[in-house]
Amino acid sequence: MGRDYYAILGVRRDATPEEIKKAYRRLARDLHPDVNPDPATQERFKDVTQAYEVLSNPEKRRMFDLGADPFAGAGAAGGGFGAGFPFSDIMDAFFGQAQSGRSPRSRARRGRNATVRVELDLAEAAFGTNREVTVNTAVVCQTCSGAGTAQGSEPETCDMCAGRGEVSQVSRTFLGQVMTTRACPQCGGFGTIIRNPCPDCSGDGRVRKSETLAVPIPAGVEDGTHIQLAGEGEVGPGGGPKGDLFVEVVVRPHPIFERRGDDLHCTVTLPMTAAALGTAITVETLDGPEEVDIRPGTQSGQVIPLYEHGTRHLHESGRGDLMIHVTVETPSKLDEEQEDLLKKLAELRGENHPPGKFTPGQQGFFSRLRDAFQGR
């Protein structure tokens, strides 16, 4: 084997393709004839380029690892640059990337997303519903079908960039002549120019219009939930694909229920006697009136659950619960007969005290009466 291409590039024999490429770029940047015109350096540059051409090609590298030089007997000593010379990698070494080969921009682009608000009652959010919403959106222009041109005309090829969508500029630097490309300023990178735009859309390919859409509201949505309707947003410029429509849910406050997750909470107030003796009350729910048993001795602050009477779980089966919070009302004003009855009750329970004889730390009459109902 005449030359060690690994040693020429300064890499290990198990170097990865990326390591080989980085080594070549580093050497090419220092040894290029435009940077260093010394004849000896030019010969070194040719050797480095030839080494990279071998090691960057999997088949040639395999041949070299087996002991054969792919350039042996092929005029390699002359150092000529053949068809395999890596010009693009030299450009990479100096400018970070190869020259642009991009195509002209398409006039058709994706449309913007749109957002609308929908107000719901608690029952609608709990069980789901269907609502119609009206949106002011962009739709395809019917006159030009999104092309943006007037009837009987077509976009013309840009004479500045010849339809490429970009123009090139050559400038002189200390490295020599350098060519750069940029979007064509005349056509904006489209490669074509609309000289006769559609009178209805002014060349945009779309117009504004109010549309009414049916929106399915799933059961269990909460205040602030966003529902995404794919492809129901605005049409893009040039008749491009639609964006998405997002429906923001706003749930109006309910006069009775407070929602916490999928559970509902409400408060009922009971007379002291009903709480002490027990009773049955009718409670409003999202499913209609329900009769609830109040056990004797029910205390203020006690919570009575009604299972499966809350809102439906979003995207799941089942429902939350209705939690009934009990408040026991103590009478603040008593007539003479009521007061006599309560005194008699206190006497029967051994809780009577001479009036005006309470000392600090003693319970008041109604506090002791409450404890009496609790069986304390």
- Binding-site sequence positions for Zn(2+): 141, 144, 158, 161, 184, 187, 198, 201
> Could you give the CA distance from residue 299 to residue 327 in angstroms, rounded to a whole number?
8
233: left (phi over 0), alpha (psi -120 to 50) or beta: beta
> Could you give the CA distance from residue 29 to residue 23 in angstroms, rounded to a whole number?
10
Structure-block tokens of residue 97: 């990337």
Which residues have C-beta within 8 Å of that of residue 221, sequence separation ≥ 6?
A: 120, 125, 128, 227, 249, 251, 314
Q: Which of 95, 106, 22 is nearest to 56 (CA)?
A: 22
Give the Å distances, CA to CA, from 168 to 95, 99, 279. 15, 10, 91
Q: Do residues 287 and 269 make contact, with C-beta atoms less than 8 angstroms apart?
A: no
Query: Binding site: what residues are annotated?
Result: 141, 144, 158, 161, 184, 187, 198, 201
Q: Which of 227, 226, 212 is nearest to 136 (CA)?
A: 212
Ramachandran angles phi, psi of 28, nearest 5°: -65, -35
Mutual angle of helices 17-31 and 87-95, in 10-degree steps = 70
Q: What angle do CA 173, 174, 176 make, to 5 degrees?
A: 65
